[in-house]
Amino acid sequence: MNATHFASEFDTLSQYLRAFAYKLTGDASSADDLYQDTAFLAFKNREKFRAETNLKAWLSTIMKNAFINSFRKRKRRGEVMDNSPENFRLNSGRNSIENDGEKLVYYQDLFALVEMLNDKLKQPFLMAYQGYKYDEISQQLDLPVGTIKSRVFAARKFLKAQIEQRYTVSINA
């Protein structure tokens, strides 16, 4: 396919490519950049296109790969895609400080609740929490697998109810 014919075929697919770029990026400016990158790569590598294949699919693949490569570069750099009006969150990922104190309190509360479980529920639940599979727990406790599953389920249900009761703020309060 000569350069003129390739350019003509590319122009007929231009509207589709712009729409696809916008679908991938969700931003008009980024979509324009992606479209231009795709056009550059397509014309640079047009000799690799085989005339008997689908040009639309070939160009879509180039665009998708360009988008993925760009995304991976931004991710490696720690950049955040920010569509807010004044880029409030741009590159904010590196500057955030996490406070683990609140998590520690919840974790301690959770284990206090686990201690409230009766032994029939607590032992299978803790073993499941530690990563044992149901059949391993079943063998170790000499109980059927179905019993183990129902006890772990009952323990989770109890813990969920206790957590909801403890941490749900009352509307009437």
Q: How confident is the model over 87-122, as pLDDT tens digits?
A: 544 545 555 556 666 666 677 888 888 898 998 999
Top pLDDT among 48 and 102 is at 48
Top pLDDT among 34 and 88 is at 34
Question: Residue 37 pLDDT more than 90?
Answer: yes
Mean pLDDT over residues 60-82, rounded?
80
Rounded mean pLDDT of the chain? Answer: 83
Radius of gyration of the chain (CA): 28
Residue 118 phi, psi (nearest 5): -75, 160
Question: Residue 49 pLDDT more than 70?
Answer: yes
**Using CA atoms in the order 154, 104, 163, 127, what is the torsion angle rounded to 10 degrees?**
0
Q: How far is CA 142 from each of CA 30, 111, 138, 150, 162, rounded to the nearest angstrom?
A: 60, 25, 6, 15, 29
Top pLDDT among 79 and 160 is at 160
Instruction: Name the residue type at position 100.
Output: D
Top pLDDT among 95 and 64 is at 64
Distance from the Cα of residue 164 to its chain's centroid: 27
* pTM exceeds 0.85: no
> How does pLDDT run across 146-171, given as a tens digit for each residue?
999 999 999 999 988 888 887 776 55
Ordered structural domains, the chain, with CATH: 3-94 (1.10.1740.10), 101-167 (1.10.10.10)
For residue 94, what pLDDT is reported?
A: 52
For residue 145, what pLDDT is reported?
A: 93
